[in-house]
């Protein structure tokens, strides 16, 4: 079924430079039959326990309600996007229902279903966290991406990748660190961190004549994780780096960063 | 005579012992012998032998990730407008907010000076590659109508973030912001029209200045 669309794309593509772009599109289309197969899958069923279940045309508050399902009727859950569930009625009508209404449905055996939105408790107990931060690294701009795994509510380990963009040199930095949160249940949760890694610096040739360097780094830091809403966390932190150079003196760099993260 | 006493004594001891035996349960001494159970408790008439069926609910398919490929035109300040293409990956955290990572590339043209002066080139490697990490928000979710019978979901969104642009022999810290329109053909396939402004500092043509590099693209995306 995906073959005809494949030929269409190829025949309309004339640009050589966008060859990989087309490849990506083909990959996307290759996924498309998977969507059709989804209809044959066994889907989870729930029964409406509230007086009625409101079906929206799209997964959001603003989309209008176009259909209601009466109490006692069963619906199948086709998929979930953020806090919205796409359901299908016995007559084949499909629409989106929000979390709050889905919580009021019943399982086929009569027990209450558990569709829970992320809360501050998940902020404390979530296992995985990903974030993007940016700020100042010793006068240069820094853009960082990180992923973290919680060993318990207090202790987590993180892996960071950063790009440093300065006036005199650019570079990359990779590090791993341990984070300790003293009061993980607080909405404003302070943390302390300790880590090590590598930094690669390449001076800008037009200004300073110098070779690329790769050095080991160690760092200590402190910061604040702030729970905002649902899965969102704001994060601000300060880290003090020591760069173990091959010269006589080690370099010390201060870093200030601000960004956001989300947890699973 | 002696035999009679002996008989009397024996009778007396027998009575006394039997008395003790009769009262031993009264004072709670001796073995506690509960009467054997005779029947089932009266409340339970039928003992159900059927085990409760354990129902394993099928997992719900979550589609919060979106991958897209785009193609369009970017106007690099001083270097003309050139075709750009790239890919984008997004995670929808709530119905409003999403985070996205994009990467794109183009081949920069010549500046007016380079064209007029003949063979002069500011730099040789004309490839521009950028990446950025953005936070986006679906600011105007809605529906669009095609003809009289079809309605499709849509989103007008804004997006802004940071990244780097590798251009003219340097990596340049880049701030970008923009807006886009997402037309959802199905709940899993969408068409995008996007406009972004990539801002970075460059000193290749004269003094250092902040350039605005406007990009317009169309793309297809797939939710999974």
Q: What is the mean pLDDT of residues B138-153?
A: 89
Q: Which residue has the higher pLDDT, B177 or A116?
A: B177
Lookup: tokens for A203: 């001076």
Domain assignment present for residue B156? The answer is yes
Q: Report the gap between the CA of B142 and the closest CA in chain A (Å).
A: 6
Domain count, chain A: 3
When the pLDDT of each residue in chain A is averaged and rounded to a whole number, the result is 81
pLDDT at B181: 95
pLDDT digits (tens, 9 = 90+) for A169-210: 889 999 999 999 988 888 999 999 999 999 998 887 655 567
Q: What is the CATH number of the domain that holds A223?
A: 2.40.160.20
A82 membership: H or E segment, kind and range: none
Are B60 and A79 within 8 A, CB to CB?
yes
Domain assignment present for residue B31? The answer is no
Q: Residue B201's closest CA among B173, B177, B161?
A: B173
Q: What is the mean pLDDT of residues A227-248?
A: 88
Are B62 and A58 within 8 A, CB to CB?
no
pLDDT digits (tens, 9 = 90+) for B113-135: 888 888 888 888 889 999 999 99
pLDDT digits (tens, 9 = 90+) for A42-78: 778 888 888 888 899 998 888 889 898 888 888 888 8
Q: Is the domain of A102 the same as that of A165?
A: no
Enter the ipTM: 0.74
Domain assignment present for residue A87? The answer is yes
pLDDT at A60: 87
Q: Containing domain of residue A185, as a range?
A: 122-263
pLDDT at B119: 82
Q: Is the dihedral of CA A58, A60, A66, A68 positive or negative?
A: positive
Instruction: State how far the Cα of A224 lies from the Cα of A239, in Å rounded to an integer.
Output: 12
| Residue A234 pLDDT class (50, 70, 90 cuts) | very high
pLDDT at A14: 40
pLDDT digits (tens, 9 = 90+) for B2-13: 666 677 666 766
Interhelix angle A19-37/A3-12, rounded to 10 degrees, is 160
When the pLDDT of each residue in chain B is averaged and rounded to a whole number, the result is 83
Residue B110: is its pLDDT beyond 50? yes
Q: What is the mean pLDDT of residues A124-138?
A: 90
**Residue ranges of A 144-203 with Cβ closer than 8 A to chain B:** 145, 163, 165, 170
pLDDT at A162: 93
Q: Is the domain of A252 the same as that of A154?
A: yes
Count A/B contacts: CB-CB distance under 8 Å: 129
Domain assignment present for residue B151? The answer is yes
| Residue A13 pLDDT class (50, 70, 90 cuts) | very low
Domain count, chain B: 1
| Residue B157 pLDDT class (50, 70, 90 cuts) | very high
pLDDT at A3: 40
User: Could you tell me if A143 lies within 8 Å of chain B, comparing CB atoms?
Assistant: yes
C-alpha distances in Å from residue B10, one per residue of B2, B14, B53: 12, 6, 71
Q: Is the domain of A75 the same as that of A194?
A: no
Residue A161: is its pLDDT beyond 90? yes
Domain assignment present for residue A225? The answer is yes
Name the residue among B93, B222, B223 with its Cβ closest to that of A262: B93
pLDDT at A128: 92
Q: What is the CATH number of the domain that holds A79?
A: 2.30.30.40
Domain assignment present for residue B46? The answer is no
**Residue ranges of A 16-35 with Cβ closer than 8 A to chain B:** 17-18, 20-21, 24-25, 28, 31-32, 35
Q: Which residues contact A97 (CB under 8 A, 6 or more apart)?
A: A53, A54, A55, A56, A75, A84, A85, A86, A87
pLDDT at B53: 65
Report percent pLDDT > 70 for chain B.
Answer: 77
Are A57 and B91 within 8 A, CB to CB?
no
Beta bridge mates, A189: A225
Domain boundary pick from A106, A130, A159: A106
pLDDT digits (tens, 9 = 90+) for B71-81: 999 999 889 99
Residue A155: is its pLDDT beyond 90? yes
pTM tops 0.95, yes or no? no
Q: Containing domain of residue B91, as a range?
A: 65-223
C-alpha distances in Å from residue A61, one per residue of A33, A57, A100, A104, B28: 30, 10, 12, 18, 75
Q: What is the CATH number of the domain that holds B101?
A: 2.40.160.20
Q: Is the domain of A135 the same as that of A252?
A: yes
pLDDT at B158: 96
């Amino acid at each position: 079924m995906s073959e005809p669309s494949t030929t269409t794309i190829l025949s309309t593509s004339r640009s050589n430079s966008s060859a990989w772009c087309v490849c990506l599109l083909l990959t996307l289309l290759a996924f498309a039959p998977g969507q059709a197969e989804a209809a044959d899958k066994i889907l989870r069923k729930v029964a409406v326990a509230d007086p009625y279940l409101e079906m929206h045309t799209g997964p959001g508050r603003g989309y209008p309600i176009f259909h209601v399902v009466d109490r006692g009727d069963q619906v199948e859950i086709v998929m979930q996007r953020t806090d919205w569930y796409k359901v299908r009625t016995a007559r084949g009508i499909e629409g989106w229902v929000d979390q709050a209404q889905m919580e009021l449905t019943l399982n086929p055996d009569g027990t209450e279903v558990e569709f829970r939105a992320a809360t501050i408790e998940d902020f404390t107990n979530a296992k995985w966290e990903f974030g993007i931060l940016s700020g100042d690294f010793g006068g240069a701009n820094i853009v960082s991406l990180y992923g973290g795994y919680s060993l318990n509510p207090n202790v987590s380990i993180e892996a960071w990748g950063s790009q440093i963009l300065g006036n005199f040199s650019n570079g990359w930095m990779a590090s791993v660190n341990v984070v300790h949160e003293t009061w993980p249940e607080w909405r404003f949760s302070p943390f302390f961190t300790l880590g090590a890694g590598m930094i690669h610096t390449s001076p800008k040739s037009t200004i300073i004549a110098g070779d690329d360097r790769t050095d080991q780094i160690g760092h200590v830091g402190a910061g604040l994780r702030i729970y905002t809403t649902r899965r969102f966390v704001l994060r601000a932190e300060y880290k003090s780096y020591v760069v173990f150079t091959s010269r006589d003196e080690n370099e010390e760099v201060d870093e200030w960063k601000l960004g956001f993260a989300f947890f699973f | 005579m002696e035999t009679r006493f002996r008989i009397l004594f024996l009778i007396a001891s027998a009575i006394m012992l039997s008395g003790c035996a009769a009262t031993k349960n009264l004072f709670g001494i001796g073995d506690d012998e509960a009467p054997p159970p005779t029947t089932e408790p009266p409340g339970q008439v039928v003992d159900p032998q059927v085990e409760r069926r354990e129902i394993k609910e099928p997992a719900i398919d979550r589609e919060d990730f979106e991958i897209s490929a785009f193609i369009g035109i970017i106007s690099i300040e001083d270097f003309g407008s050139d075709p750009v293409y790239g890919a984008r990956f997004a995670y929808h955290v709530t119905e409003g907010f999403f985070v996205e990572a994009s990467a794109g590339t183009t081949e920069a043209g010549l500046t007016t000076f380079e064209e007029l002066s003949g063979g002069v080139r500011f730099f040789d490697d004309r490839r521009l590659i950028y990446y950025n990490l953005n936070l986006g928000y679906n600011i105007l979710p809605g529906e669009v109508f095609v003809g009289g019978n079809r309605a499709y979901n849509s989103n007008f969104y804004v997006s802004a973030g940071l990244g780097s642009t590798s251009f003219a022999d340097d990596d340049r810290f880049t701030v970008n912001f923009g807006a886009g329109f997402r037309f959802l053909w199905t709940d899993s396939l969408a068409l995008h029209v996007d406009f972004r402004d990539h801002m970075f500092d460059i000193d290749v043509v004269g003094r250092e200045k902040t350039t605005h590099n406007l990009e317009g693209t169309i793309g297809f995306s797939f939710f999974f």
